[in-house]
Amino acid sequence: MIRRVMGAVRSRMSPRTRRVVRALLLAWGWVTADLRPPPELVVVGAQRAGTTTIFRLLSEHPDLVRPTADKGTGYFDDRFDHSWRWYRAHFPVRLPGQRRRQAFECSGYYLFHPLAAERIAAALPRCQVVVMVRDPVARAHSAHKHELARGFEELPFEQAVAQEADRTAGLEELLRTEPGSTSFAHRHHAYLQRGEYATQIGRFVEALGPGQVHVVDADALFADPVTVWIDLQRRLGLRVHRPQQVGRWNERPGGRLAPDTLARLRRHFEPHDAALVPYLGGPPSWREEQEIR
């Protein structure tokens, strides 16, 4: 009940009020950071793959606590120049004798950032990681609409995809080799690369071990939300909590792709989808649906 009330209060705040509240919460969090345990669970992405939905489900779980202000911190990607105390300042206080609940965060760029996996493993070696994957063609199209709406993109989808390799050339290596570097184009214009999930998941499995990396098919989650959500809770070692509802939160509906564009992108992602099978225990749901058709 309290969580729903707080969520309603947040939704009614103006952007300026939200910024002021965030600043105040972070300032108080800094002062009391020693009382704020870091998270034991991190949702790392993928962007536009149901991360807001899984964040809301985790927020409703009685044994978990979300960050105090935003759903994520971005510490292990573009904000790694901040201190560990700054990071801990984002999570709730746990007083001596207080009932233990695990903190978590959800930052959608962690999965794609080339250094996030090793940074998380070094700072949070026992944490559980959740990866959300979605039909990569639909994800790319949704991401493009998202970037357009935010003013971060000007090109139409087909042109943005055609120019992606040139726009992002050398940026992964830049992020790997130059400490403190960030890249707007790597973060906002990598529509196809972000859907090549297996390579990204592999970094987390290598850094943390397969037992701490949990991959969820978002399309399967929306098709059968209760079953998939319960399975994830059991994999994470949580007691089962049944949600009141599961919605497609933060969805951006939009137009359909041209058939030739759709077919071309399906072919592009075919080997990447096949490489997902070991992580999902079977073909991704979107490939199964195509086979049925």
* 124 domain-assigned: yes
Q: What is the C-alpha to C-alpha distance for residues 37 and 91, in angstroms, rounded to an integer?
A: 7
What integer pLDDT is reported at residue 247 of this predicted model?
A: 65
| pLDDT at 292 exceeding the cut of 50 | no
Residues 190-234 have pLDDT tens digits of: 999 999 999 999 999 999 999 999 999 999 999 999 999 999 999
What integer pLDDT is reported at residue 251 of this predicted model?
A: 62
Confidence band (pLDDT; 50, 70, 90) for 291?
Answer: low
Greater confidence (8 vs 185) lies with: 185
* 4 domain-assigned: no
Top mean-pLDDT range of 8-12, 217-221, 246-250: 217-221
What integer pLDDT is reported at residue 1 of this predicted model?
A: 43
Q: Mean pLDDT across the chain, nearest whole number?
A: 91
What integer pLDDT is reported at residue 290 of this predicted model?
A: 59
| pLDDT at 6 exceeding the cut of 50 | no
What integer pLDDT is reported at residue 179 of this predicted model?
A: 85
| pLDDT at 7 exceeding the cut of 60 | no
What is the number of domains present in the chain?
A: 1
CB-based contact 281:207 (threshold 8 Å): no
CB-based contact 246:232 (threshold 8 Å): no
* 88 domain-assigned: yes
Percent share of the chain, pLDDT over 70: 91
* 10 domain-assigned: no
* 135 domain-assigned: yes
Average pLDDT over residues 12-27: 79
* 13 domain-assigned: no
Residues 127-169 have pLDDT tens digits of: 999 999 999 999 999 999 999 999 999 999 999 999 999 999 9
Average pLDDT over residues 166-185: 97
Confidence band (pLDDT; 50, 70, 90) for 55?
Answer: very high
| pLDDT at 24 exceeding the cut of 70 | yes
| pLDDT at 2 exceeding the cut of 70 | no
CATH of residue 257: 3.40.50.300
Residues 93-108 have pLDDT tens digits of: 998 888 889 999 999 9
Q: Measured over all CA atoms, what is the biggest interatomic distance in the chain, rounded to whole angstroms?
A: 61
Average pLDDT over residues 50-76: 94
* Strand order across the 41-45 sheet: 64-65, 102-106, 41-45, 128-133, 213-217
* 203 domain-assigned: yes
| pLDDT at 280 exceeding the cut of 60 | yes
Spell 258-280 as b/e; 16+ CB within 10 A means b: eeeeeeebbebbeebbeebeebb
* 1 domain-assigned: no
| pLDDT at 59 exceeding the cut of 80 | yes
Percent share of the chain, pLDDT over 90: 80
What integer pLDDT is reported at residue 18 of this predicted model?
A: 74
Q: Which domain holds residue 215?
A: 32-292
What integer pLDDT is reported at residue 171 of this predicted model?
A: 98
Residues 117-129 have pLDDT tens digits of: 999 999 999 999 9
Taking the complete model, does pTM exceed 0.85, yes or no? yes
